[in-house]
Protein backbone atom coordinates (compact mmCIF):
# COMPACT_ATOMS: atom_id res chain seq x y z
CA UNK A 1 0.00 0.00 0.00
CA UNK A 2 1.18 3.53 -0.75
CA UNK A 3 0.80 5.58 2.44
CA UNK A 4 1.32 9.33 2.76
CA UNK A 5 2.21 10.61 6.23
CA UNK A 6 1.55 14.34 6.45
CA UNK A 7 3.14 16.10 9.42
CA UNK A 8 4.41 19.49 10.55
CA UNK A 9 6.53 17.68 13.14
CA UNK A 10 9.65 15.98 11.79
CA UNK A 11 13.39 15.82 12.18
CA UNK A 12 15.43 17.58 13.46
CA UNK A 13 12.71 18.11 16.09
CA UNK A 14 12.92 15.76 19.05
CA UNK A 15 9.56 14.88 20.57
CA UNK A 16 7.05 12.09 20.90
CA UNK A 17 5.29 12.89 17.63
CA UNK A 18 8.52 12.69 15.64
CA UNK A 19 9.56 9.51 17.44
CA UNK A 20 6.17 7.92 16.73
CA UNK A 21 6.13 8.82 13.06
CA UNK A 22 9.75 7.79 12.53
CA UNK A 23 9.26 4.37 14.11
CA UNK A 24 5.95 3.89 12.31
CA UNK A 25 7.62 4.68 8.98
CA UNK A 26 10.37 2.17 9.71
CA UNK A 27 7.88 -0.57 10.56
CA UNK A 28 5.63 0.21 7.58
CA UNK A 29 8.55 0.00 5.15
CA UNK A 30 9.77 -3.21 6.77
CA UNK A 31 6.30 -4.66 6.16
CA UNK A 32 6.51 -3.80 2.45
CA UNK A 33 4.51 -0.58 2.33
CA UNK A 34 5.66 2.44 0.35
CA UNK A 35 5.70 5.53 2.55
CA UNK A 36 5.94 9.18 1.51
CA UNK A 37 6.46 11.59 4.38
CA UNK A 38 5.24 15.11 3.64
CA UNK A 39 7.13 17.25 6.15
CA UNK A 40 8.65 20.75 6.56
CA UNK A 41 12.10 19.63 5.31
CA UNK A 42 11.83 20.92 1.70
CA UNK A 43 9.96 24.12 2.59
CA UNK A 44 10.89 27.63 3.58
CA UNK A 45 10.04 27.79 7.26
CA UNK A 46 9.41 30.31 10.02
CA UNK A 47 9.69 29.92 13.81
CA UNK A 48 6.58 28.88 15.67
CA UNK A 49 5.38 31.78 17.87
CA UNK A 50 6.59 31.31 21.48
CA UNK A 51 8.47 28.14 20.43
CA UNK A 52 11.21 29.12 17.91
CA UNK A 53 12.83 25.67 17.96
CA UNK A 54 9.83 24.41 15.98
CA UNK A 55 9.89 25.55 12.35
CA UNK A 56 6.62 25.75 10.41
CA UNK A 57 6.33 25.59 6.63
CA UNK A 58 5.48 28.86 4.90
CA UNK A 59 2.80 28.71 2.18
CA UNK A 60 3.06 24.93 1.65
CA UNK A 61 -0.08 24.33 -0.41
CA UNK A 62 1.39 24.25 -3.94
CA UNK A 63 4.21 21.86 -3.07
CA UNK A 64 2.04 19.61 -0.89
CA UNK A 65 -0.45 19.37 -3.75
CA UNK A 66 2.30 18.47 -6.20
CA UNK A 67 3.84 15.85 -3.89
CA UNK A 68 0.53 14.11 -3.23
CA UNK A 69 -0.60 14.31 -6.86
CA UNK A 70 2.64 12.64 -7.97
CA UNK A 71 2.62 10.00 -5.22
CA UNK A 72 -1.07 9.09 -5.64
CA UNK A 73 -1.40 7.50 -2.20
CA UNK A 74 -3.80 4.71 -1.34
CA UNK A 75 -4.09 6.10 2.19
CA UNK A 76 -3.33 9.47 3.75
CA UNK A 77 -2.68 10.03 7.42
CA UNK A 78 -2.45 13.60 8.72
CA UNK A 79 -0.58 13.75 12.00
CA UNK A 80 -0.61 17.45 12.90
CA UNK A 81 -2.85 20.49 12.64
CA UNK A 82 -0.21 22.97 11.35
CA UNK A 83 0.28 24.48 7.88
CA UNK A 84 1.31 21.20 6.24
CA UNK A 85 -1.48 19.30 7.97
CA UNK A 86 -3.99 21.89 6.75
CA UNK A 87 -2.62 21.63 3.22
CA UNK A 88 -2.88 17.83 3.32
CA UNK A 89 -6.44 18.07 4.62
CA UNK A 90 -7.34 20.49 1.83
CA UNK A 91 -5.84 18.15 -0.81
CA UNK A 92 -7.86 15.21 0.50
CA UNK A 93 -11.07 17.20 0.51
CA UNK A 94 -10.53 18.47 -3.05
CA UNK A 95 -9.57 15.04 -4.39
CA UNK A 96 -12.27 13.12 -2.52
CA UNK A 97 -9.56 11.13 -0.74
CA UNK A 98 -10.49 9.40 2.51
CA UNK A 99 -7.95 10.17 5.24
CA UNK A 100 -7.25 9.66 8.91
CA UNK A 101 -5.80 12.03 11.47
CA UNK A 102 -4.10 11.62 14.82
CA UNK A 103 -4.38 13.61 18.04
CA UNK A 104 -0.94 13.90 19.64
CA UNK A 105 -0.96 17.19 21.51
CA UNK A 106 -3.38 18.96 23.82
CA UNK A 107 -3.16 22.24 21.97
CA UNK A 108 -6.03 23.95 23.84
CA UNK A 109 -4.13 23.72 27.12
CA UNK A 110 -0.79 24.61 25.50
CA UNK A 111 -2.24 27.68 23.81
CA UNK A 112 -4.01 28.75 27.02
CA UNK A 113 -0.70 28.69 28.91
CA UNK A 114 0.72 31.20 26.42
CA UNK A 115 -2.26 33.42 25.52
CA UNK A 116 -5.73 34.23 26.92
CA UNK A 117 -7.56 32.11 24.36
CA UNK A 118 -10.65 30.29 25.70
CA UNK A 119 -10.21 26.52 25.70
CA UNK A 120 -13.56 26.05 23.99
CA UNK A 121 -12.39 28.02 20.95
CA UNK A 122 -9.34 25.85 20.35
CA UNK A 123 -11.28 22.64 20.93
CA UNK A 124 -13.81 23.80 18.32
CA UNK A 125 -11.04 24.34 15.76
CA UNK A 126 -9.55 20.93 16.50
CA UNK A 127 -12.94 19.24 16.13
CA UNK A 128 -13.41 20.96 12.75
CA UNK A 129 -9.97 19.77 11.62
CA UNK A 130 -10.23 16.14 12.74
CA UNK A 131 -13.87 15.40 11.99
CA UNK A 132 -13.24 15.86 8.28
CA UNK A 133 -11.29 12.59 8.43
CA UNK A 134 -12.64 9.07 8.67
CA UNK A 135 -11.05 8.44 12.06
CA UNK A 136 -8.95 10.27 14.65
CA UNK A 137 -6.21 8.07 16.09
CA UNK A 138 -5.43 8.64 19.78
CA UNK A 139 -2.83 6.93 21.99
CA UNK A 140 -5.05 5.70 24.85
CA UNK A 141 -8.60 4.70 25.73
CA UNK A 142 -8.72 7.64 28.15
CA UNK A 143 -7.99 10.06 25.30
CA UNK A 144 -10.57 8.26 23.18
CA UNK A 145 -13.22 8.79 25.84
CA UNK A 146 -12.34 12.46 26.24
CA UNK A 147 -12.53 13.24 22.53
CA UNK A 148 -15.84 11.37 22.29
CA UNK A 149 -17.18 13.46 25.17
CA UNK A 150 -16.08 16.61 23.32
CA UNK A 151 -18.01 15.67 20.21
CA UNK A 152 -15.28 14.17 17.99
CA UNK A 153 -17.11 11.62 15.84
CA UNK A 154 -14.70 8.69 15.53
CA UNK A 155 -11.66 8.50 17.82
CA UNK A 156 -9.89 5.12 17.80
CA UNK A 157 -6.86 3.87 19.74
CA UNK A 158 -3.39 3.67 18.20
CA UNK A 159 -0.88 2.57 20.83
CA UNK A 160 2.83 3.29 21.16
CA UNK A 161 6.02 1.27 21.43
CA UNK A 162 9.59 1.44 22.67
CA UNK A 163 12.97 0.23 21.42
CA UNK A 164 13.84 -2.24 24.18
CA UNK A 165 17.22 -3.02 22.65
CA UNK A 166 18.39 0.59 22.90
CA UNK A 167 16.65 1.35 26.19
CA UNK A 168 17.99 -1.41 28.40
CA UNK A 169 18.90 -1.81 32.10
CA UNK A 170 22.32 -3.17 31.13
CA UNK A 171 23.38 0.39 30.26
CA UNK A 172 23.18 1.42 33.93
CA UNK A 173 26.31 3.28 35.07
CA UNK A 174 27.37 5.57 37.91
CA UNK A 175 26.27 9.20 37.74
CA UNK A 176 28.21 11.98 39.48
CA UNK A 177 26.74 13.51 42.62
CA UNK A 178 24.92 12.11 45.61
CA UNK A 179 21.95 9.81 45.20
CA UNK A 180 19.17 9.32 44.62
CA UNK A 181 19.37 10.54 41.04
CA UNK A 182 16.07 11.98 39.84
CA UNK A 183 15.70 12.52 36.10
CA UNK A 184 13.35 14.38 33.77
CA UNK A 185 13.49 13.82 30.00
CA UNK A 186 11.50 15.90 27.54
CA UNK A 187 10.91 19.39 26.22
CA UNK A 188 11.94 22.17 28.54
CA UNK A 189 8.81 24.26 28.09
CA UNK A 190 6.07 25.78 30.22
CA UNK A 191 3.45 23.18 29.31
CA UNK A 192 5.59 20.39 30.81
CA UNK A 193 5.23 21.80 34.35
CA UNK A 194 8.96 21.20 34.99
CA UNK A 195 8.99 23.67 37.87
CA UNK A 196 7.17 21.07 39.97
CA UNK A 197 10.19 18.81 39.54
CA UNK A 198 12.79 21.54 40.02
CA UNK A 199 11.16 22.71 43.24
CA UNK A 200 11.27 19.30 44.91
CA UNK A 201 12.99 19.27 48.29
CA UNK A 202 15.02 16.36 49.54
CA UNK A 203 18.37 14.66 49.09
CA UNK A 204 19.88 13.61 45.82
CA UNK A 205 20.80 15.02 42.42
CA UNK A 206 18.35 16.26 39.80
CA UNK A 207 18.87 15.91 36.06
CA UNK A 208 17.01 17.55 33.15
CA UNK A 209 17.59 16.01 29.72
CA UNK A 210 16.22 17.89 26.72
CA UNK A 211 16.01 21.29 25.09
CA UNK A 212 13.29 23.87 24.66
CA UNK A 213 12.36 27.53 24.94
CA UNK A 214 12.67 27.65 28.75
CA UNK A 215 16.08 25.95 28.99
CA UNK A 216 18.22 29.07 29.44
CA UNK A 217 15.95 30.70 32.02
CA UNK A 218 15.67 27.47 34.02
CA UNK A 219 19.44 27.01 34.01
CA UNK A 220 19.83 30.45 35.54
CA UNK A 221 17.06 29.95 38.11
CA UNK A 222 18.20 26.49 39.29
CA UNK A 223 22.01 26.36 39.14
CA UNK A 224 22.08 23.24 41.33
CA UNK A 225 20.27 21.15 38.71
CA UNK A 226 22.14 19.32 35.94
CA UNK A 227 20.69 20.62 32.67
CA UNK A 228 22.49 18.49 30.10
CA UNK A 229 20.54 19.51 26.98
CA UNK A 230 19.25 17.11 24.32
CA UNK A 231 20.80 13.64 24.23
CA UNK A 232 20.30 10.84 21.74
CA UNK A 233 20.84 7.15 21.18
CA UNK A 234 23.11 5.23 23.51
CA UNK A 235 24.06 8.33 25.50
CA UNK A 236 20.40 9.04 26.25
CA UNK A 237 19.63 5.43 27.12
CA UNK A 238 22.65 5.28 29.44
CA UNK A 239 21.51 8.38 31.31
CA UNK A 240 18.04 6.94 31.80
CA UNK A 241 19.29 3.55 32.95
CA UNK A 242 21.68 5.20 35.40
CA UNK A 243 19.04 7.24 37.25
CA UNK A 244 17.00 6.04 40.23
CA UNK A 245 13.59 7.58 39.49
CA UNK A 246 12.07 9.10 36.36
CA UNK A 247 10.05 12.17 37.35
CA UNK A 248 7.28 13.14 34.92
CA UNK A 249 5.63 16.37 36.13
CA UNK A 250 3.48 17.05 33.05
CA UNK A 251 -0.29 17.30 33.46
CA UNK A 252 -1.07 17.76 29.76
CA UNK A 253 0.59 14.91 27.83
CA UNK A 254 -1.63 12.54 25.88
CA UNK A 255 0.74 9.59 26.40
CA UNK A 256 4.42 10.20 27.15
CA UNK A 257 6.64 7.81 25.16
CA UNK A 258 9.46 8.77 27.51
CA UNK A 259 7.59 6.85 30.23
CA UNK A 260 8.04 3.63 28.24
CA UNK A 261 11.66 4.48 27.48
CA UNK A 262 12.37 5.01 31.18
CA UNK A 263 10.64 1.78 32.17
CA UNK A 264 12.50 -0.14 29.45
CA UNK A 265 15.68 0.96 31.23
CA UNK A 266 14.30 -0.37 34.52
CA UNK A 267 13.52 3.10 35.81
CA UNK A 268 10.39 3.51 37.98
CA UNK A 269 8.20 6.56 37.42
CA UNK A 270 6.98 9.31 39.75
CA UNK A 271 4.12 11.33 38.27
CA UNK A 272 0.77 12.93 38.90
CA UNK A 273 -2.38 10.76 38.58
CA UNK A 274 -3.44 12.36 35.29
CA UNK A 275 -4.10 11.21 31.72
CA UNK A 276 -0.91 9.92 30.19
CA UNK A 277 0.82 8.50 33.28
CA UNK A 278 -2.46 6.94 34.42
CA UNK A 279 -2.69 5.08 31.09
CA UNK A 280 0.95 3.99 30.92
CA UNK A 281 2.16 3.43 34.49
CA UNK A 282 0.91 0.65 36.77
CA UNK A 283 0.55 2.42 40.08
CA UNK A 284 2.43 0.65 42.85
CA UNK A 285 4.21 -1.64 40.41
CA UNK A 286 6.08 0.38 37.78
CA UNK A 287 5.55 3.82 39.26
CA UNK A 288 3.79 5.91 41.87
CA UNK A 289 1.10 8.40 40.90
CA UNK A 290 0.35 11.00 43.56
CA UNK A 291 -0.75 14.62 43.75
CA UNK A 292 2.27 15.15 45.99
CA UNK A 293 5.19 14.64 43.61
CA UNK A 294 7.66 14.24 46.49
CA UNK A 295 5.55 11.39 47.86
CA UNK A 296 5.54 9.79 44.42
CA UNK A 297 9.34 10.00 44.26
CA UNK A 298 9.80 8.40 47.67
CA UNK A 299 7.45 5.58 46.75
CA UNK A 300 9.03 5.01 43.35
CA UNK A 301 12.43 4.52 44.98
CA UNK A 302 11.07 1.38 46.64
CA UNK A 303 9.80 -0.30 43.47
CA UNK A 304 11.26 -3.27 41.64
CA UNK A 305 13.18 -2.12 38.56
CA UNK A 306 12.69 -5.51 36.90
CA UNK A 307 8.92 -4.98 36.93
CA UNK A 308 9.38 -1.76 34.95
CA UNK A 309 11.35 -3.61 32.32
CA UNK A 310 8.73 -6.35 32.07
CA UNK A 311 5.95 -3.88 31.40
CA UNK A 312 7.96 -2.06 28.73
CA UNK A 313 8.54 -5.34 26.88
CA UNK A 314 4.78 -5.52 26.25
CA UNK A 315 4.96 -2.45 23.99
CA UNK A 316 6.55 -2.84 20.56
CA UNK A 317 6.49 -0.48 17.60
CA UNK A 318 5.64 -3.40 15.34
CA UNK A 319 2.46 -4.09 17.30
CA UNK A 320 1.57 -0.40 17.34
CA UNK A 321 2.09 -0.17 13.57
CA UNK A 322 -0.18 -3.16 12.96
CA UNK A 323 -2.87 -1.27 14.87
CA UNK A 324 -2.18 1.84 12.77
CA UNK A 325 -2.59 -0.14 9.55
CA UNK A 326 -5.86 -1.64 10.71
CA UNK A 327 -7.33 1.84 11.03
CA UNK A 328 -5.94 2.88 7.64
CA UNK A 329 -7.39 -0.16 5.88
CA UNK A 330 -10.72 0.22 7.65
CA UNK A 331 -10.89 3.86 6.56
Tens digit of each residue's pLDDT, the chain (331 residues): 999 999 999 988 888 899 999 999 999 999 999 999 999 999 999 988 766 778 899 999 999 999 999 999 999 999 999 999 999 999 999 999 999 999 988 766 756 666 667 888 899 999 999 999 999 999 999 999 999 999 999 999 999 999 999 999 999 999 999 999 999 999 998 889 999 999 998 899 999 999 999 999 999 999 999 999 999 999 999 999 999 999 999 998 889 999 999 999 999 999 999 999 999 999 999 999 999 999 999 999 999 999 999 999 999 999 999 999 999 965 4
Report which of 279, 282, 313 is spatially closest to residue 300, judged by C-alpha positions.
282
2-161+316-330: CATH class: alpha beta
Tell me: cis bond preceding 78? Omega within 30 of 0 counts: no
Q: Whole-prediction pTM value?
A: 0.91
159: Cβ contacts below 8 Å, ≥ 6 apart: 139, 140, 315, 319, 320, 323
169-312 matches 2-161+316-330 in CATH topology: yes
CATH of domain 169-312: 3.40.50.2000
Domain residue extents for the chain: 2-161+316-330, 169-312
Amino acid sequence: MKIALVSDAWLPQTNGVVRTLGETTRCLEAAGHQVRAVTPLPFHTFPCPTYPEIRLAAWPWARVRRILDEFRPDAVHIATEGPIGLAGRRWCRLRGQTFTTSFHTRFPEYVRLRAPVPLAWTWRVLRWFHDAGARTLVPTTTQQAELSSRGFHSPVVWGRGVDTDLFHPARRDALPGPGPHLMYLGRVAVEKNIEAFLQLDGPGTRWVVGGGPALDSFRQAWPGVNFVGPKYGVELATLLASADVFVFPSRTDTFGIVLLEAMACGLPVAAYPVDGPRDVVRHGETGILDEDLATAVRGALELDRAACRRQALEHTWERATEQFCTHLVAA
